Amino acid sequence: MQRRTFLRAAVGAGGAAALAQLGTGNTAAAAVDQSSVTPAGPTGGVVGVATGDARRTIRVRSLGALQTAIDDARPGDRIELVNGRYTTEAPLGIVGKAGELGAPITVAAQEVGRAEITGPSGFAVDNSSYVVLEGFRLTHASTLRAPSNSHHIRFSRNHIELPADAGNHWLNIDGNDCEVDYNTFTNRFNLGVWVSISGPSDGIAQRTWIHHNYFLNHQFDGSNGGEPIRLGLSHKQSYSAFAVVEFNLFEKADGDPEAVSVKSRDNVIQYNTIVDSDGSIVLRHGHRNRVEGNLMLGGRSGIRFYGKDHVIVNNLVAHSTGSGLVIGSGNIEEDTDSTGNEQVDRVLMAFNTLVGNAVSITGESQRPLGPRDSVVANNIVVGSGPQLVTMPQGDEGFLWEGNILHGAPPGDIPGTGGLEVDPRLVEDRHGIFRIGPDSPAVNAAVGSYPTVTLDLDLRARSGIKDVGADEYTTTPGPLRRPLTSADVGPYAAPHQGATS
């Protein structure tokens, strides 16, 4: 096989995904005008219909009336189920319904979290597009799906707590251009995934956007199969999904060692917060994924990866009981569909901050193919123990440069690969480590790395970059903090992240 040269300046952003564009369901229709409310008919179902600008809000108070309103819905309609607890006898079908860009069909709770759907069945989407399911408390036994014959389906501001059988995934995304935002997924105690992105048999769902969700308390005690998010499958690893997973909070995500399990190509995993969780970010299969700006605090591990051409930058991993960064070993060199671990090749690991982890940077030795032709540059690594870097299978073709190492012997890193000096990190009240004006990391980065344009706080890097995830600046402005339950889930105000 012809060897390939890793070019520092040519590292691509990888996985620059287009975001789904659905329109905002909760502002798509006019509020109900109480003066126009019609008395309930013989079935006790329809409460009222309000119109405005060719859009309608239809409020109903029974599942039968809800189904009728869905069947009759047209683009721009907002159908609201009056607050209450409703037990299903059959699926609530959203079948053959086509909203429009900017005028989706929205099926919503009257008030967020105050209309509960329970019983054996829930919503069933089929052959539909531009549909929003919003604001429900979903506790029914059946699972949810955006099938491959549907597209632009949005699940927004729902509380999802399903008593599904072991092995059934709560939300299955098989259609293109779907959005999963501001939901809470909580309290699962058996085998299964919270959000599974798959697709038709001959492909994978495209351009899924998962943001501002709260993944709380998965306590399945098995060793595999309890991921909050699984992005692809082993046999789909050669497909590009172009998904974006951002601004989500994972807490007590202990159902699997992988909180975000990536098994496809060209995805972006950015600006998420993972706290007090066994799960980590794992690039299990696929190429060209970008992992940027994530805050990983006090869990079991940080970031682990296999495959080729990934970009891993601007992440903070602090006080984990395991490894801050795991550079995987492989048992196959190139693959398309097996469950084997692909050899690491041409990966950029730069401008990350690893602090106080039980192990800082480590390779693996359980498989025969060690990593090669990759870059580890301009990271701050502060830790303890026998050594900071452990590479049991070597680092063929690696470029190590510009790293700052402190607190323990460097270990398996060439002498030219870093500077042993105290970076003088300052921990803020939220547990975020940044550099100060007297840090030797200021203006100390080696190489230009043009694909790294921002820092941990989403501020622009300029001039000679600083080492680590944080770029020091005297310009006032908001600083990121870890996401909390107030920033995500059904009741959070819409915004991009959390700042202080």
The pLDDT, as a whole number, for residue 9 is: 38
Which of 110, 137, 158 is the last residue before a domain boundary? Answer: 110
User: What's the pLDDT score for residue 28?
Assistant: 28
Question: What pLDDT is recorded for position 394?
Answer: 84
Closest CA to 151 of 112, 223, 80, 199: 199
Written in H, E and C, the secondary structure of 238-253 is CCECCCEEECCEEEEE
SS3 415: helix
- Residue 53: predicted pLDDT: 56
Determine, yes or no, domain membership for 94: yes
Task: Identify whether 51 is part of a domain.
Answer: yes
Domain for residue 258, yes or no?
no
Q: How many domains does the chain have?
A: 2
Residue at 298 is within a domain: no
Strand blocks (E) in 110-223: 115-118, 123-126, 129-134, 137-138, 144-146, 151-156, 159-160, 171-173, 179-181, 184-188, 195-197, 209-211, 214-218
- pLDDT, position 46: 64
Give the DSSP H or E segment for 329: none
Predicted pLDDT of residue 307: 96
Q: What is the C-alpha to C-alpha distance for residues 316 and 242, in angstroms, rounded to an integer?
A: 24
pTM: 0.90
At residue 27, what are phi and psi to the nearest 5 degrees?
-125, 15
Asked if residue 468 belongs to a domain, the reply is: yes
- Using only C-alpha atoms, the chain has a radius of gyration, in whole angstroms, of 24
- Per DSSP, the residues of 121-141 read --EEEES-EEEEEES-EE--S
Token pair in block for residue 33: 């005008």
Listing from the earlier edge strand, what are the strands of the sheet with 359-363? 144-146, 171-173, 195-197, 229-232, 258-263, 280-285, 303-305, 323-327, 359-363, 389-390
pLDDT of 224: 77
Rounded to an integer, what distance in angstroms lies between the CA atom of residue 269 and that of residue 313?
A: 11
Q: Helix (H, G, I), strand (E, B), or coil: what is residue 26?
A: helix
456 inside domain:
yes
| Residue-level pLDDT at 6 | 34
Cα–Cα distance measured from residue 433 to residue 162, given in angstroms and rounded to the nearest whole number: 38
pLDDT, position 51:
63
> Which residue numbers in the chain have pLDDT < 70?
1-48, 50-54
Q: Do 376 and 404 touch, CB atoms closer than 8 A?
A: no
Query: Could you give the CA distance from residue 229 to residue 216 in angstroms, rounded to a whole number?
Result: 12
| Domain extent for 86 | 21-110
Which of 110, 130, 164 delimits the end of a domain?
A: 110
Other residues' Cβ atoms within 10 Å of the Cβ of residue 414 = 12
- Rounded distance, CA 115 to CA 85, Å? 6
Domain-located, residue 163: no
What pLDDT is stored for residue 499 in this prediction? Answer: 81
Domain end: 83, 110, 137, which one? 110
**Domain membership flag for residue 192:** no
